[in-house]
Each structure stands twice: as structure tokens, then as C-alpha cells.
């Protein structure tokens, strides 16, 4: 049987090469970078023969919003039938989420296009997810050519988080995970804003890639990775009558840092290819979901930035003309500097105090919808052993900031808070620490290590209200998550008659911290809110019984 399989693979590969030779394919000659013009004419391969995403579909699974991004960048978009040669006037092709494998003819048409200098975005979902039965790494002639000539290859796996169940996987809406941008010394400009601001890219059932950066024929870059899931290499069957038992098989399944997206650009022809292991990143009501209160703004800001900048790169636009970050969001990096602080947040002078060793001169503070941003200016640098505390009006428990930038409340680490010491002391604190009534800071103390009296300042810090939105409502969470399925309530206890802490709109994001004994109520948290929510008003991506029990 093994010999028969090898023969089939060789036959397929030879057949692809024969079709390519018949079609007259040749590799484009090397051109100077200055002679290469941006690609303005895009073709989207779609049709029943391959069942891929379409620009005409304005529903959840369509890519009409991606088409609009291209139009805004100055490109034109048209549909290409999968069983016909790619027209000569097409400069870049999108093939997103095909549910069926390529035929030899389709492979030949596609390879003829890229071999002659065309650009391609190829997005392949894991087989077995959401009805997909597409390309496999071993049998795909196109995948072999792609790896040989561009250093990119798709793997035969399905990225599965430890907290996933058959039920969460079977429904594509609840099968999401988060990928991070590759933070390397030569970080690629596509993902530079994601690295700088710590923004993830959400995906819904992905498959991993192989990226060969040592190839000599192309400039190759990995872009996104994930570490918490394993790559399930067995065929996944999610049918309710005979589902696959999901478990990690050491030595067989892929583990560690698994790549989800990569790009390559040929040195000779300048042909650019982007390979991504999840199509929902690009679909309308998944990665391109918009806010209920403002359809122009994304919910998943990392996805929006990634897709817009990836399209600009695929077009070959100069970097200075790539989409900029939206002014509707807060873009303050916590690095101990004030160069990215909003100009409309003026400094407030602090009255001089007597007999202090740490002199606080000024502060600046504002809050957006989820976080409080605070900047302290002192005379001279703060010593390595100094701890800062903040007293909040009406709260006997102070917020504590260590010199290493960790934030503690009631002796527990606040995972979604951070601080940095530099020219200034800069920090981002979740608004929930200040209560639903946005209580003020009324005391700042600098605790020194010699057991002497701390240097304290009695003052009132009421952060300025900013109209900007925070790009990431949930920070510092790597485990199970949820979002609200409608406008729903957060309660103070796991009971329908418990006091309402807050009401939140649909698609509000939360991390999941625990459950009640029955799993009917879940304890949730984001930068603004914390409390109990009924399980049935949430879309969760985990087995709720695996969450910690909270009394």
C-alpha cells in the first residue's frame, strides 16, 4: 500500500509538470525593483468547482469586506472561474478557503500565473473543519512546487487548543484561537504594529505552515505563530454520529511554536505569495467583524491591521502609503516615554512636598473604554528598589507597582496591567480596579527599601475621559475566552436575581476564569468588567466543565 501511495504521488507530480510544459510556462526574468509597479488588478478564484470564498457574498462567510479593502487601496477586483486560465490582465489572485482540492488543470493554471510573475494570496483551512476537503501537504502538487520555489508549505494538521471539545470545534463560530505576530529583530512591516502594541490575530480552526527562510530563490518571512494548540495530524471527523477523539499524540502531532502565516517574494520575478492557514481571518463576520455601534470600526483590531497591511504588501505599494493606524483607537505603548501620548492630555503639576527622596513633579492621566493610562514625572530616576502604590477613593486595598513593571492588587498579579520605568513612569491599568463609578486616585506613595517612611503625595487624580477606544479589551489572557451573544447582563453572583453589575452589548469579549458547580454560570473578566454571566448568553470556545470551580 505504501508503494502504491508513492507511485500515485509521483504520477501526480509528473502530470502537473507535463501540464505546465504544455501550457508554455516559464519563469519570469529578473527585473529591477524600481521597475516593478504596484499590482492593481485582482482576481478572486471562486466557483462551485472549488467552493472558495466569494466577494459577492455579503454574509458571514463572504469576503465582500476584503474586496472593499482592496478597492480602498486603489485596486480593482473581478471573479475568475477556477477551471479557466487566469486572464493576462490579472496581476494578483486571491484564493481563500477552497473546500475542495485542486485538479491538475487548476494547479497548472495557478502555477503558470505565479511562475510568470503573478502575485497570490492562498488561504487553506484544515481538512475536516466546516466541511473542508481541500489540499493535503503530501498529495498536493501545488504545495510541493510552492515549497521548492518559494519556501512556503502547508502542513496536514488541525490546530486544536487544550480546552477545545468536539462541540466547540464542530461549530466554526466557537472554534477560535489567537495567533501572535513574530517578534524578530527584523520584524516585517506587515506585522510591526501588532508587535509594538501586542495585538493578536484571531483565527477559527487553523492549520500550520512550514516556512524555509534559508531558501536562496526568495525572500521569506514567517508572520504569525501560536504556541498553545497542538497540530492534530490525524484526520479529524466532527460528525456527531462518529466524532474523532481529540487528544495529543506525542511524536505524531505537531507541537511548539506553530506558524499560521508566511510570505515570500521571488528574487528573479518579484512574484509575491502569502500563505495563511485559516480563511475566517478574511471573512466578513469572523476576522472582519465590525462594531455594532460603528460599522466602520473593527472588533478584532489585530485582524484588521494584519489584513490591510498584507493586502498593501501583496499589491507592492510603497510602505509609506500602507494603511495607517486608526485615530479612533488608543495607540500608547507602555515603554516609559511620552512621545506617543495624546496631545490633548495636559500635564498636571504636583505641589512640592517636604523631606521626600522621590520628588513627583507632574502626572498625566486618561481613560478610554477599558483602561486607565497614567504617566508620572519625577525629578531624576527612580531607584531599582522603589515600589509605587496608589490608593483609590473608597477602597482600602492599594494598587502596587513593582520596579519590574508588574502590577498587583490584593497581593494578586493583575495580568492585564503593565508598567514601565524610563524617563517617566508609565502604566496601563484595567478600569475595573477603579470600580463601576470610576473612583479617583487620592494618594501616591513611593516605598523605599530601607524601612523608612514612604514618600507619599495626597492628591486627586481623575483621568480625563477619552473618546478613543482601546484596541484590545482582553489583555494578558491566553486561556479560554467568550463573547456575549446579544445585549446581556453581568451579575454580582451566579444567580438570576443577583444584582446587575453592568449591561454589555453583543460581541463584548471576555476571558473565562471559572464556573459554578453546574457550569450554568461563568465568571468572566475584561479590562472594564468582572462578574458572573449565564452560560447560555455567551459563545465560549471551551468545555465549561474544565474551568476552575469558584464557590
* 452, burial (CB in 10 Å: exposed 0-12, middle 13-18, buried 19+): exposed
Do the beta carbons of residue 51 and residue 100 sit within 8 Å?
yes
pLDDT tens, position by position, 169-197: 888 999 999 999 999 888 999 999 999 99
Do the beta carbons of residue 225 and residue 257 sit within 8 Å?
yes
Mean pLDDT computed over 427-453: 92
In the three-class reduction of DSSP (H, G, I as helix; E, B as strand; rest coil), residue 33 is classed as helix
Question: CA–CA distance from 504 to each of 92, 247, 299, 529, 538 (Å)?
Answer: 42, 36, 14, 9, 12
Q: How many CB atoms lie within 10 A of CB 104?
A: 15
| H helix or E strand, kind and range, residue 396 | strand 395-401
Query: Does the structure show a pLDDT above 60 at 495?
Result: yes
Do the beta carbons of residue 221 and residue 262 sit within 8 Å?
yes
| H helix or E strand, kind and range, residue 142 | helix 141-150
pLDDT tens, position by position, 528-537: 999 999 999 9
Query: Does the structure show a pLDDT above 70 at 25?
Result: no
pLDDT tens, position by position, 367-389: 999 999 999 999 988 888 899 99
Name the DSSP class of 547: S
Domain count along the chain:
3
Is 209 part of any domain?
yes
* Average pLDDT taken over every residue of the chain: 90
Query: Does the structure show a pLDDT above 70 at 2?
Result: no
Q: How confident is the model at residue 91 (pLDDT cuts 50, 70, 90)?
A: very high
Is 8 part of any domain?
yes
Residues 72, 200: one domain? yes
Residues 193, 314: one domain? yes
Residues 400, 517: one domain? no
Is 334 part of any domain?
no
Mean pLDDT computed over 262-276: 96
Q: What is the CATH number of the domain that holds 151?
A: 3.40.50
Question: CA–CA distance from 46 to each of 60, 145, 492 (Å)?
Answer: 16, 22, 50
Query: Does the structure show a pLDDT above 90 at 461?
Result: yes
Q: How confident is the model at residue 19 (pLDDT cuts 50, 70, 90)?
A: very low
Residues 452, 520: one domain? no
| H helix or E strand, kind and range, residue 360 | strand 360-367
Residues 317, 359: one domain? no
Q: Which pLDDT value is given to residue 244?
A: 65
Residues 69, 152: one domain? yes
DSSP letters along 310-321, please? HHHHHHT--GGG
Which residues in 187-296 belong to E strands, given as ranges? 201-204, 209-211, 218-226, 230-232, 258-266, 272-276
Residues 297, 353: one domain? no
Is 181 part of any domain?
yes
Q: Which pLDDT value is given to residue 78?
A: 96
Residues 485, 376: one domain? no
Q: Residue 460 is part of which domain span?
A: 348-465
Q: Which pLDDT value is given to residue 181?
A: 97
Q: Which pLDDT value is given to residue 24?
A: 47
pLDDT tens, position by position, 303-314: 999 999 999 999
Q: Which pLDDT value is given to residue 20?
A: 47
Q: Which pLDDT value is given to residue 241?
A: 62
User: How many CA within 13 A on the CB side of residue 451?
Assistant: 0
- Residue 493: partners with Cβ closer than 8 Å, 6 or more residues away: 499, 532
- How many helices (DSSP H) and strands (DSSP E) are in the chain? 7, 32
Amino acid at each position: 500500500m505504501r508503494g502504491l501511495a508513492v507511485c500515485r504521488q509521483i504520477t501526480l507530480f509528473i502530470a502537473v509538470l507535463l501540464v505546465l510544459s504544455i501550457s508554455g510556462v516559464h519563469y519570469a526574468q529578473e527585473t529591477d525593483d524600481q521597475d516593478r509597479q504596484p499590482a492593481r488588478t485582482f482576481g478572486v478564484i471562486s466557483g462551485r468547482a472549488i467552493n472558495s470564498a466569494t466577494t459577492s457574498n455579503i454574509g458571514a462567510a463572504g469576503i465582500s469586506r476584503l474586496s472593499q479593502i482592496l478597492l480602498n487601496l486603489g485596486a480593482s477586483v473581478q471573479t475568475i472561474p477556477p477551471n479557466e486560465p487566469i486572464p493576462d490582465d490579472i496581476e494578483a489572485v486571491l484564493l481563500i478557503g477552497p473546500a475542495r482540492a485542486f485538479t491538475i488543470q487548476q494547479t497548472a493554471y495557478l502555477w503558470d500565473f505565479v511562475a510568470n510573475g503573478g502575485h497570490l494570496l492562498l488561504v487553506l483551512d484544515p481538512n475536516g473543519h466546516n466541511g473542508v476537503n481541500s489540499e493535503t501537504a503530501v498529495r498536493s502538487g501545488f504545495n510541493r512546487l510552492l515549497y521548492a520555489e518559494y519556501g512556503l508549505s502547508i502542513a496536514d494538521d488541525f490546530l486544536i487548543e487544550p480546552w477545545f471539545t468536539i462541540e466547540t470545534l464542530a461549530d466554526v463560530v466557537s472554534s477560535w484561537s489567537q495567533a501572535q505576530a513574530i517578534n524578530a529583530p527584523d520584524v516585517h512591516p506587515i506585522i510591526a504594529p501588532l508587535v509594538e502594541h501586542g495585538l493578536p490575530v484571531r483565527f477559527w480552526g487553523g492549520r500550520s505552515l512550514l516556512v524555509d527562510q534559508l531558501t536562496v530563490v526568495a525572500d521569506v518571512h514567517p508572520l504569525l505563530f501560536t504556541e498553545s494548540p497542538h497540530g492534530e495530524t490525524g484526520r479529524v471527523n466532527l460528525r456527531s454520529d462518529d466524532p474523532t477523539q481529540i487528544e495529543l499524540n506525542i511524536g505524531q502531532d505537531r507541537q511548539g511554536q506553530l506558524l499560521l502565516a508566511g510570505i515570500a517574494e521571488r528574487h528573479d520575478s518579484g512574484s509575491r505569495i502569502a500563505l495563511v492557514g485559516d480563511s475566517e481571518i478574511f471573512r466578513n463576520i469572523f476576522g472582519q467583524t465590525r462594531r455594532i455601534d460603528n460599522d466602520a470600526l473593527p472588533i478584532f483590531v489585530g485582524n484588521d491591521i494584519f489584513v490591510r497591511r498584507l493586502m498593501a504588501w501583496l499589491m507592492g505599494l510603497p510602505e509609506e502609503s500602507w494603511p495607517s493606524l486608526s485615530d479612533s483607537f488608543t495607540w500608547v505603548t507602555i515603554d516609559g516615554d511620552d512621545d506617543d501620548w495624546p496631545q490633548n492630555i495636559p500635564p498636571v503639576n504636583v505641589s512640592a512636598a517636604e523631606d521626600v527622596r522621590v520628588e513627583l513633579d507632574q502626572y498625566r492621566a486618561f481613560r478610554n473604554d477599558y483602561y486607565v493610562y497614567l504617566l508620572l514625572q519625577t525629578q531624576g530616576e527612580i531607584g531599582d528598589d522603589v515600589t509605587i502604590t496608589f490608593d483609590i477613593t473608597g477602597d482600602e486595598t492599594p494598587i502596587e507597582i513593582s520596579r519590574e513593571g508588574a502590577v498587583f492588587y490584593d497581593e494578586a498579579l493583575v495580568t492585564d496591567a503593565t508598567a514601565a520605568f524610563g524617563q517617566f513612569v508609565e502604566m496601563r491599568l484595567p478600569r475595573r480596579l477603579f470600580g463601576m463609578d470610576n473612583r479617583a486616585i487620592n494618594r501616591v506613595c513611593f516605598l523605599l527599601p530601607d524601612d523608612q517612611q514612604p514618600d507619599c503625595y495626597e492628591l486627586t487624580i481623575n483621568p480625563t475621559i477619552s473618546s478613543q477606544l482601546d484596541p484590545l479589551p482582553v489583555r494578558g489572557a491566553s486561556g479560554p475566552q467568550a463573547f456575549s451573544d446579544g445585549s446581556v447582563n453581568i451579575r454580582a453572583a451566579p444567580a438570576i436575581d443577583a444584582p446587575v453589575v453592568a449591561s454589555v452589548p453583543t460581541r463584548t469579549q471576555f476571558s473565562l476564569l471559572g464556573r459554578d458547580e453546574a457550569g450554568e454560570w461563568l465568571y468572566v473578566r475584561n479590562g472594564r468588567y468582572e462578574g458572573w454571566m449565564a452560560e447560555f448568553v455567551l459563545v465560549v470556545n471551551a468545555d465549561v466543565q474544565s474551568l476552575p470551580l469558584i464557590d
